[in-house]
Structure 1
Amino acid sequence: MDLLPWQLAALLAPLIILLVTTFYSLISTGNKRILDKNLPPQAAGGWPVIGHLRLLSGPELPHIILSDMADKYGLIFSIRLGVHRALIVSSPEIAKECFTTNDMIFCDRPRTAAVQHMSYDFAMFGLGKYCPYWRELRKICVQKLLSNRKIEALGHLYVAEIRALMRSLYNSCVDGTAPSPLEMRKLFRDLSLTVMVRVVAGNIVVGSHEKEGFGRNGMRR
């Protein structure tokens, strides 16, 4: 019995899809093997989708975990942060090679959908992609925000906030109200936030190390 055209197409379609899939898998596997030969070793313990993120979220600090990996895998190896491969180097010579000779290769960032939405289509300086727009933003930051003249002009803010923090710590010790042990991480976080807000917004101060004159939201003018 002769097959109708649509019946013949229905029989051949799965066969064609199978052949194309097999051919693509063979090519991808071959290219991956060639590429893996030129890549540094990848640390064991990575999971699908999340990669090695679970290893970095344990009780140990990330730099200690990476140091232990470097003792096992050598001065240069790779891990997977989600689906993206990250290069870990533990040698000053290799780091210099990455940031001087090959700096143009390492200056870009992964273009993920999350970063695109959070950075307004890569418009934010810290999350933007390497392009003429990003280079212009860097030029503005170096010349207008982070220049030596600008830092010297704002030096009194740093001194004032550090003195306020030290005075608060001294008064707490004298009054016997200082907690034991003292959590320095929170104090440094408040100090950094206070300095940043004063630099950006003028005389507005945010922080908990100076109680005098604060409003309900922990802010004063």
Structure 2
Amino acid sequence: MEPLTILSLITSSFVFFTAYWALLYFKTSKNLPPGPPKLPIIGNIHQLKGAVPHRALRNMARKYGPIMYLQLGQVPTVVISTPRLAKEILKTNDVVFADRPITIASQIFFYKSQNITWSPYGSYWRQMRKICTLELLSAKRVRSYSFIRDEEIRHMCKCLESSARRPVVLRDVLVQMINDVICRATVGDICKDQSTLIDVLFDIMRAVIAFNMASYFPSLQFLNVISGKKAKWLKRQKQLDIILEDILEEHKNNRPSGDNDHEDLVDVLLRIKENGDLDQPITMDNVKGVILDMLLGGTSTSSMTLEWAMAELMRNPDIMKKAQAEVRAIAKGNKIDEADIENMSYLKMIIKETFRLHGPPLLVPRVSREDCIVDGYNIPVNTRIVINLWACGTDPDSWENPESFIPERFENSFISYMGSDFELLPFGGGKRICPGITFGVGIIENVLANLLFHFDWELPNGLKPDELDMTEAIVLSNLPKNPLQVVPVSICLQK
């Protein structure tokens, strides 16, 4: 077929589906929130290309308001940019906005959205979340993982000590160590294909978070085929599935007998599946989806937070010295205990401030289940809702000097990251709040305390603190664009 004919067919299809979409959505659009002017067909997509999304959206919100309507291709989208309106979505109208959008990436990677993060709100979601909360993430279970965390932190410190006075890419060290902890807690052991698993996990994040034209035109999914993205995603999913199948097969052959206290999440899910006493029976794909949730959420969020925390400390030497003085004054002997962490108030302030400035910048999108009114504006059913967490965390009406790293702002503050304070939502809020807060924060606190206790830190090649690149990656905007390189100096070697 001639290239011109192919182009004509694509263009005709594009125009047809766009016209159909326009009739479908614009007929019911009354009193929508304000927003920027739209271009034909693509709407406001062009205003997001090439920029870090949360910053581009915040800049638009300053002009059009804290609740803003965008037409992203065929997807009507409302962007929320202040704590007050985040509360409207996540608390006042939580059930109305409890669904997730259906995307080709979530369908491919998460076994047709059979994980917890992307599954529709309903009985299956409630059932699987309850299993994970009680069986993997309860306070008792989290305490039982402390020996795993402590072992892996000691191993990390030994590796850093062997690299003392030489530059290291801190991201590589953190991702491997945290993935070791998550794998041992979730599947019982470090994954034998760890390097492939970590590569696949970050590819999944890129696929889910990155700008993808086809995701804004649901009727034109062939664009994913033409661009080669679907083939790439399917290849990655096959690699992932082989790893998960190996994990499941090993657990089937080596199940613990009679002692539930020594089960990991995979053992729990297999036991529950075999018992068959659930309201909705689960399949092996359900099990894989939930395992993937744990591996992806635990590895990415914790490692990113720690990298940003260390970057801010390297850029602010006075804060670094104050934090190290606290940690070294409280810790006894040559190790840090759980009780020590509870008394490290400044360390906790640093982590809160890192969450505020460098937590997940955008909440995983939601979709309205019915028509709703928010702040006096109509939000039609099937509208995608994006909450700009970074804009809430830097809202000038809520924070003084909002874009400066000042841990002391939390000294006399009762603001928490547990979902009840909408100025600080690194784990989200409402019914779909992340269930792994205690587990994740426990890892972050312990790792950061040990990094500060055992080592002094320098920048490589004579780099000065104010020269440190804090640019955010556009594709994964909750990561530094350039991985942080630091020089560990063991305090044992200094003595």
| Residue aligning to 1:150 | 141
Runs of 4+ in 1 over 4 A off after TM superposition: 43-51
> Partner letter of residue 33 of structure 2?
P
Report deviation, 1:44: 5.3
Summarize the Cα distance change of 1:45–1:156 in structure 2 as closer, same or farther, 3 Å threshold. Answer: farther
Summarize the Cα distance change of 1:184–1:110 in structure 2 as closer, same or farther, 3 Å threshold. Answer: same
Tell me which of 188, 195, 211 is aligned to 1:202.
Answer: 188
TM-score by length of 1: 0.63
Deviations 1:168-207 (A, max 9, x none): 2232124x3x24xxx3333332233222212123232647
Question: What RMSD over aligned residues (CA atoms) do the two structures have, in Å?
Answer: 3.5
**Deviates further, 130-139 or 60-69:** 60-69
Unaligned runs of 5+ in 1: 1-23, 208-221
Report deviation, 1:69: 2.4
> Partner letter of residue 35 of structure 2?
Q
> Partner letter of residue 32 of structure 1?
F
Report deviation, 1:128: 1.0
Summarize the Cα distance change of 1:78–1:204 in structure 2 as closer, same or farther, 3 Å threshold. Answer: same
Unaligned runs of 5+ in 2: 1-18, 196-495
Report deviation, 1:103: 0.6
| Residue aligning to 1:134 | 125
> Partner letter of residue 28 of structure 1?
L
Summarize the Cα distance change of 1:156–1:70 in structure 2 as closer, same or farther, 3 Å threshold. Answer: farther
CA contact (8 A) 2:36 2:44 kept: no
Report deviation, 1:142: 1.4
Report deviation, 1:100: 0.9
| Residue aligning to 1:159 | 150
CA distance in 2, matches of 1:54, 1:192: 36
Summarize the Cα distance change of 1:189–1:41 in structure 2 as closer, same or farther, 3 Å threshold. Answer: farther
Deviations 1:115-148 (A, max 9, x none): 4454434422222111211111111111112111
Summarize the Cα distance change of 1:147–1:71 in structure 2 as closer, same or farther, 3 Å threshold. Answer: same
Larger Rg: 1
TM-score by length of 2: 0.31
Tell me which of 52, 60, 64 is aligned to 2:45.
Answer: 52
| Residue aligning to 2:100 | 109
Q: Does 1:189 align with 2:182?
A: no
Summarize the Cα distance change of 1:169–1:113 in structure 2 as closer, same or farther, 3 Å threshold. Answer: closer
Total equivalences in the alignment: 175
Report deviation, 1:77: 1.4
CA distance in 1, matches of 2:143, 2:44: 44
Deviations 1:25-48 (A, max 9, x none): 8x938x72651x332233457784
| Residue aligning to 1:28 | 23
CA distance in 1, matches of 2:113, 2:35: 29
